[in-house]
């Protein structure tokens, strides 16, 4: 099963990567992203791996282990008006002959749409439940990108997050989830190479 977070923003660029990495390293881990990652839509779509070591693991099996996790990353152009047009129900031939107009369908609430109107990029963070740490990286990285770009973050385009304390809230949620994992629940990959 895959899940997705999406960050809508004006732009992304490789100069954001060191800022994201610095923030990620504030969350009880030492982490680095794949050295070839540049935030380029054409070259960076697909799996984005992270090498990491937890500094305060709650399970002994994770102590002093170099691990690898990540998520699928997709960078797409975004146009709110075009998205809203795609949501409009198609009129039947009969409705067209009667002169009916397509009804406006909201993409989100008016306050969220107001924040989305200037966004030109949608960055998708897709992870699979099989990797115990994929949520950590998708959640933290999407929250940090939202914070850095003053973007808009959503889960499955149904839940829209407030920007205030988004990174701290993501950290709390991830830690709560990870604390529920036992050694038997863990599914992780030890780092060997990029």
Does residue 156 register a pLDDT over 90?
no
* Residue 143 within any structural domain of the chain: yes
19 CB contacts (<8 Å, ≥6 apart)?
144, 148
Contacts of 85 (CB under 8 A, 6+ apart): none
Residue range 48-85, pLDDT digits in tens: 999 999 999 989 999 999 999 999 999 999 999 999 98
Domain count of the fold of the chain = 1
How do residues 9-41 score in pLDDT, each as one tens digit? Answer: 999 999 999 999 999 999 999 999 999 999 988
Evaluate whether residue 106 is within a structural domain.
no
pLDDT at 1 over 80: no
pLDDT of residue 67: 96
Q: What DSSP element (H or E) covers 112?
A: helix 110-116
19 belongs to a structural domain? yes
The pLDDT tens digits of the residues spanning 171-180 come to 999 999 999 9
The whole-number pLDDT of residue 90 equals 80
Q: What is the pLDDT of residues 116-146, one digit of tens each?
A: 999 999 999 999 877 789 999 999 999 999 9
In this prediction, residues 106-119 reach a mean pLDDT of 94
**Among residues 49, 57, 48, which one has the least CA distance to residue 29?**
57
**Is residue 133 in some structural domain?**
yes
Can you tell me the mean pLDDT for 152-174?
91
pLDDT at residue number 158: 83
Chain-centre distance of CA 53, in angstroms? 21
Which is it for strands 152-155 and 29-33: parallel, antiparallel or unpaired? unpaired
**pLDDT at position 102 over 80:** no
Burial 26-36 (b: 16+ CB within 10 A, else e): ebebebbbeee
| In a domain? residue 161 | yes
pLDDT 10s digits, 83-98 = 998 888 787 777 667 7
Q: Residue 133 in contact with residue 82, Cβ under 8 Å?
A: no
pLDDT-derived band at 101 (thresholds 50, 70, 90) equals confident
Q: Within a domain: residue 107?
A: no
Residues of the domain holding 133: 2-78+119-190
Q: What is the pLDDT of residue 104?
A: 80
Residue 149 is assigned to a structural domain of this protein: yes
Residue 89: its pLDDT value, please? Answer: 74
Residue 9 within any structural domain of the chain: yes
pLDDT number for residue 113: 95
The predicted pLDDT at position 88 comes to 80
């Amino acid at each position: 099963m895959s899940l997705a977070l999406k960050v809508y923003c004006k732009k992304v660029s490789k100069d954001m990567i060191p800022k994201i990495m610095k923030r990620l390293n504030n969350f009880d881990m030492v982490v680095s992203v794949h050295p070839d990652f540049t935030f380029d839509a054409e070259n960076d779509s697909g799996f984005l791996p992270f090498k990491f070591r937890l500094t305060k693991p709650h399970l002994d099996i994770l102590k002093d282990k170099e691990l690898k996790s990540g998520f699928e990353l997709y960078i797409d152009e975004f146009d709110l008006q075009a998205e809203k047009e795609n949501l409009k129900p198609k009129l039947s031939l009969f409705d067209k002959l009667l002169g009916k107009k397509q009804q406006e369908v909201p993409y989100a609430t008016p306050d969220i749409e107001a924040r989305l109107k200037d966004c030109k990029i949608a960055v998708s963070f897709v992870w699979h439940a099989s990797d115990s740490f994929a949520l950590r990286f998708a959640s933290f990285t999407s929250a940090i990108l939202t914070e850095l770009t003053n973007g808009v973050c959503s889960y499955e385009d149904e839940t829209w997050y407030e920007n205030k304390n988004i990174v701290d809230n993501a950290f709390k949620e991830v830690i709560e989830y990870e604390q529920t994992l036992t050694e038997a629940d863990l599914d992780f990959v030890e780092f060997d190479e990029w």
